[in-house]
Amino acid sequence: MSRREAIVAVLRRGDRVLAIRRGPAVARPGYWQPLSGKVEPGETQQEALVREVHEEVGLTVTPDTKVWESETDDGHFRLHWWTADATDGEVIPDPGEVADTRWVTPEEFLALTPVFEGDREFFERILPNL
C-alpha cells in the first residue's frame, strides 16, 4: 500500500485554533485533532485544504503557509500542515465527519483526550514558534 497525501488545516482565530472531534463516519472516531483530509488526485494541497474545510465545517478560507510535514502513526499518510485564518463565518459541522468543534488555545488542545501523538507534537513544538 502506497502512502497517500493529506492536509491538516490549522485554522486560526486570534490566539485560538479550531479543534474537531472525529465523527462516527470516519476512522478512529472520538479523537480530537485539527481538521484534516485527503488530497484528491489532480488537486493541490491548497485546493484540498479549501475543499476539506468547506465540506467538514462550512467555512471558506484561504490557505496561508505550509508550516510542517509529518506522518500518521500508521504510516499511511504524509500530512502537510497549513495555516489559514478563519476570522469570519459560523462553524457548521458535517455530522458524519465532525462530532464536535472547539476554538482552543494550544494549552487547551493539549488537555483534550484522546489526541494523536503527532498532533500533540505540533501543538507543543511547532505552533508556539509560528
Q: What is the DSSP letter of 29?
A: T
Nearest of 53, 124, 119 to residue 92 by alpha carbon: 53
Q: Which fold has domain 4-129?
A: Nucleoside Triphosphate Pyrophosphohydrolase (3.90.79)
Q: 4-56: per-residue pLDDT in tens?
A: 999 999 999 999 999 999 999 999 999 999 999 999 999 999 999 999 999 99
Cis peptide before 114 (omega within 30 of 0): yes
Distance CA 19, CA 33 (A): 5
Q: 42-72: per-residue pLDDT in tens?
A: 999 999 999 999 999 999 999 999 999 999 9
Query: Helix, strand, coil shares of the chain as percentages rounded to 5?
Result: 25, 40, 35
Q: 75-108: per-residue pLDDT in tens?
A: 999 999 999 988 789 999 999 999 999 999 999 9
Distance CA 94, CA 4 (A): 23
